[in-house]
């Protein structure tokens, strides 16, 4: 991270690994129920992969006070959300996953919650960023408190917006020197490796299946089980554990350029389009066929990697960028998933 070039390679490498984890996590999601190994991988991945993505997105939101930033955010985040919400509505109806055709912009389809929440996080910066670290602690309190509202859920992605906002704000507050001290010290890499290995072992030993909704952040404490006053303390502990794993993961990311580094610049394409492929496979293939590949771990990894490389290719970007990034509109590109 010594130079701008290497710094960009670092973040592109991190985003490539994270988008692979997003795809792989979705690939194994329907297969994890009866496979302890896949279940462990799934829970570890969902503990930190979106928080890490969100933190990186917040890191690149430092120009929010620049003239035209809000308009660019609308063009690059909110408008693609609206477009793909319509496309997913059509897709779900045609594929038979929805019996009636309905376009609902207030309840995002599947992974589109990220775009809606991302728009909200950028807007929320105008209020929270001015208070710096005080604002961060307030965001953590809100993320904990929101779980006590029984009606909170997928409506406008409100639950995830508040639960994950502390990661976005933390990324915004981190500067280059602070981040370097956290992930590029003498022992950061072996510590990072130890953290990842330890969390895998701990989750393999005793992560309860009923606790999976805690990793998703999309509903209230009451809807995840019997609500208790101590649930807030559990979420506070989850914040702490997740951040340790996020920085442990980032410490392992190299700053060199690789052949796959370029995919890190096109993660939004992979994120938006991989769902059509996976949902189609799940819709048209019987469960028995999916179960046949559930224990072929290498095959699942290769398939996920092929999806990332294919959907992150130059050709996909060339022919779909008007739809994804609205290149017909002027303005520089929003950083984060698309950077």
| 3-class DSSP assignment, residue 105 | coil
Helix axes 36-59 and 113-128, enclosed angle (nearest 10): 40
Closest CA to 116 of 139, 96, 88, 93: 88
pLDDT 10s digits, 51-60: 999 999 999 9
Q: How far apart are CA 339 and CA 79, in angstroms?
A: 17
What is the predicted pLDDT for the residue at 157?
94
Other CB atoms within a 10 A radius of the CB of residue 49 amount to: 22
Q: How far apart are CA 32 and CA 43, in angstroms?
A: 10
Mean pLDDT computed over every residue of the chain: 90
The answer to whether residue 271 scores a pLDDT higher than 60 is yes
Write the CB contacts of 158 (distance below 8 Å, at least 6 apart in sequence).
146, 152
What is the predicted pLDDT for the residue at 233?
96
Please, what is the Cα angle at 114 between 72 and 136, to 5 degrees?
85
What is the predicted pLDDT for the residue at 329?
46
Got the DSSP string for 256-299?
S--TTGGGGG-HHHHHHHHHHHHHHHHHHS-HHHHHHTTT-HHH
pTM for the predicted model, two decimal places? 0.92
What is the predicted pLDDT for the residue at 327?
64
Contacts 24+ apart (CB under 8 A), 137-141: 139/165, 139/166, 139/169, 140/166, 140/236, 140/239
């Amino acid at each position: 991270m010594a130079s701008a070039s290497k710094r960009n390679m670092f973040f592109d490498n991190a985003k490539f690994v994270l988008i692979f984890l997003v795809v792989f996590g979705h690939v194994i999601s329907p297969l994890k129920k009866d496979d302890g190994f896949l279940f462990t991988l799934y829970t570890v991945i969902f503990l930190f992969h979106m928080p890490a993505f969100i933190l990186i997105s917040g890191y690149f939101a430092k120009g929010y006070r620049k003239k035209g930033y809000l308009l660019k955010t609308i063009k690059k985040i909110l408008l693609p959300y609206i477009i793909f919400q319509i496309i997913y509505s059509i897709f779900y109806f045609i594929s038979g996953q929805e019996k009636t055709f309905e376009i609902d912009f207030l309840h995002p389809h599947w992974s589109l919650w990220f775009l809606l929440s991302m728009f909200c996080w950028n807007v929320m910066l105008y209020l929270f960023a001015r208070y710096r670290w005080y604002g961060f602690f307030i965001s953590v309190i809100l993320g904990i408190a929101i779980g006590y509202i029984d009606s909170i859920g997928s409506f406008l992605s409100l639950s995830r917006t508040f639960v994950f906002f502390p990661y976005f704000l933390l990324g915004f507050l981190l500067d280059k020197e602070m981040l370097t001290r956290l992930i590029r010290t003498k022992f950061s890499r072996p510590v990072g490796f130890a953290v990842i290995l330890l969390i895998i072992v701990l989750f393999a030993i005793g992560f309860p299946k009923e606790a999976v909704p805690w990793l998703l952040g999309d509903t209230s404490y009451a809807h995840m089980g019997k609500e208790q006053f101590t649930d807030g303390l559990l979420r506070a502990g989850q914040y702490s554990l997740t951040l340790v794993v996020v920085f442990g993961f980032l410490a392992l990311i190299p700053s060199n350029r690789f052949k796959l580094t370029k995919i890190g610049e096109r993660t939004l394409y992979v994120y938006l389009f991989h769902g059509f492929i996976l949902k189609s496979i799940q819709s048209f293939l019987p469960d028995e066929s999916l179960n046949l590949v559930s224990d072929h771990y290498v095959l699942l990894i290769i398939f996920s990697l092929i999806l990332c490389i294919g959907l992150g290719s130059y050709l996909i970007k060339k022919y779909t960028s008007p739809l994804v990034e609205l290149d017909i509109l002027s303005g520089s590109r929003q950083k984060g998933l698309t950077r």
